[in-house]
Structures are given as C-alpha cells and as structure tokens.
Amino acid sequence: MTDWLHEPIAPIDEAARAGARARQAMLTKPPGSLGRLEGLAEAFAGWQGQSVPVLADIDIVVFAADHGVAARGVSAFDQAVTGQMIANFAAGGAAICVLARRHDARLSIVDLGAVAPPADCASVIDARIAAGTADFTQSCAMQAGELEQALQAGRERVSPSAHLFIGGEMGIGNTTSAAAILAGLSGATPAQVVGRGTGIDAAGLARKQAVVEAGLARHRASWQGATGSARALSMLRCVGGFEIAALTGAFVAAAQAGVPVLVDGFIASVAALCAREIAPDCANWQLFGHRCAEAGHCYLLDMLEARPLLDLDMRLGEGSGAALALGVIGDALALHAGMATFDEAGVTNRDG
C-alpha cells in the first residue's frame, strides 16, 4: 500500500530559523558577507529546531538496480557493471565510499534488483524486487506491487534521528528512465533532457532519445489527465526504475520525519521532483548539492529555480556530488556556531 505517502510533512521551525538569522546579524562580519552560507545555517536551524544547528549524523544510502531498457543500447556499459559496482561499494572502493569516510557518514548499499548481483557481500542490504525492471518500450517497467516495494524500501532506509539524508543510485540505464520521467512530468522533448549518461557517442545519444520517445508514446495514455501523486506514481511504474522509486520514497519519508535531504545529480533530482509531485511540501526539506553535467539536470534545476551548492561538471552519481557539498555545509554551520559576536569580540557594531 502507498497510503503512507500522503501522511503530513513535518513543519519548519520558524522560531529557530529566526533565531539563527538574529545570530547571523550579531556575528563579526558585515551583514550578508558570508552569502549563501548564512542561508544554509538558517535553513538547518529551521530543520533542527535549534538556532545553532549541528551536522553530526549523516546517512548516505545508495540504491542499486538494473533496467530492462538497457537492452536497447542506451548505455556505454553492460548491465553486469551494476553488480560489479555493488561489490565495489561493499569493498569500500567507490568514490562515495571515500567521501563517506571523509565526512564520517554512515553508508548503506541496497540491492533492489541487479541482474547479476555479487556473491558474498554481507554488508549489502538485500531488498531485491526482481532482476531489474522490464523494458519500458515493450511493457510497463514494473508492476504496481513492485513499485510499492521500491517506494517502501526507500522509506525504510530513513532514520528520523539523522541530521541529513543523501540518496545515491547505481544502475545501468537509469539516466534513460530518469529522462523519460522528466520529459513526462515537464513536457520537455527527449532532445532537451536526454544526455550522454555513461558517455555514449552521437549515434548512441540519438538512439537513447528515440527510446525515450518510444516509451513515452507507449505509456502516455496511462497518466494523461492525471496530476500530482497519481501522475508521478504512474510514470514511475511505467518508465521508472526501482532505485528511482526508492529514492522517491526515501525523500517523502525524510520530509515526513523532519530530515532534510541533500539531493545529488540528475537521477536523484528526478526522484526529488517525483517526491514534490506526491507531496508538494517535500520541497521545504530539499537542498540540491550540485549541478551535474547531464543535460536533463540543467533543465530540471532551471525548471525548479533550484540553486545547487556546487557546479563541478560531475556526472558520476552514487551520491558523490552531494557528498562533496557536505564540506560547504559543515563549514557554514561551523562559522555560524564558532564566530564571535560583536559583543564577545569587543568590536563596534555599526548598529550598536
């Protein structure tokens, strides 16, 4: 059942946010001179309900699954890579593993349906739904029950005690599914939102755009006339992926639990858009970590008028771009807590 998706979203503590704003005005600096770092401190104050927030409990969860549409030649890599990367995550060798260690974050890996899962990876959470989704150019990517399982798997990975949640993903073919969802929700053409993903050539890009168009044409009647939650869930079921649905479920659950989400790149941002379609107030709990190099991500961020913290031309996924932004957030909160006020420093305040 998906009734839980419609439970209330946690409110922002506006008093704590105002307290943080007042503290910023007393720190030894010209007003606004720390730019967006000041807004970060205020946002985290509102999320945590305290005027001096902290960042000491970070959850990073990577959801992995394969996509049947990969059979259409939309990726530069074989589906075996998904299982191989799950093993790499478990061994601590992937980029997100390095960044999680660097920021002392908890890292969890969830296998929702790799075609070739690795053997003997005890640290990987087994939440397998099927050996990948179906090819969405031939049928719905998943059945209704499979979508429910994927959404629930995301919900179960959210800890209400966390100060921040980062959702990562791994799955050959998942930029194709994400582009199809974005095109369906936004009205964009495949040419506007389909990118090179893992690095396909011009012929591969044209093929990928045609695959997205074919999927939309096949399933458009399923969501025509629908809005909000019904439309988003229909798109996830028809052209989505297990990991995209799990991210969507996690983002909704995090907002319900009062846990802010640091959104990664293209695939995670499409899940964030789906979460907003399901529960619009999820937007109050979303912070975008970076602008990735995928064409669809630039389109989506502009559509949402979202300002990511970083822009480094990355397109790795895994939650890696969001994890890099942890340094900026950590420094923003450290400055907010550690700088002296004008009175403490004995510095004349122009307003004093």
Catalytic residue annotation = 318
Q: Interior CA angle at 344 toward 330 and 326, to 5°?
A: 5
Asked whether the beta carbons of 331 and 36 are under 8 A apart, the reply is no
For residue 137, which of 205, 214, 84, 213 has the smallest C-alpha distance? Answer: 214
What b/e sequence results for 95-114 when a residue is b if at least 16 CB atoms lie within 10 Å of its CB, and e otherwise? bbbebbeebebebbbbbbbb
C-alpha span between 233 and 231 (Å, rounded)? 6
Which tokens is 158 given?
């959210």
Report the SS3 class of residue 88: helix
Cα 320 to Cα 1, 80, 315, 333: the distances in Å are: 32, 21, 9, 21
For residue 77, which of 35, 50, 115 has the smallest C-alpha distance? Answer: 115
C-alpha span between 228 and 223 (Å, rounded)? 10
Q: Interior CA angle at 287 toward 226 and 152, to 5°?
A: 55
Q: What is the DSSP letter of 244?
A: H
C-alpha span between 59 and 109 (Å, rounded)? 11
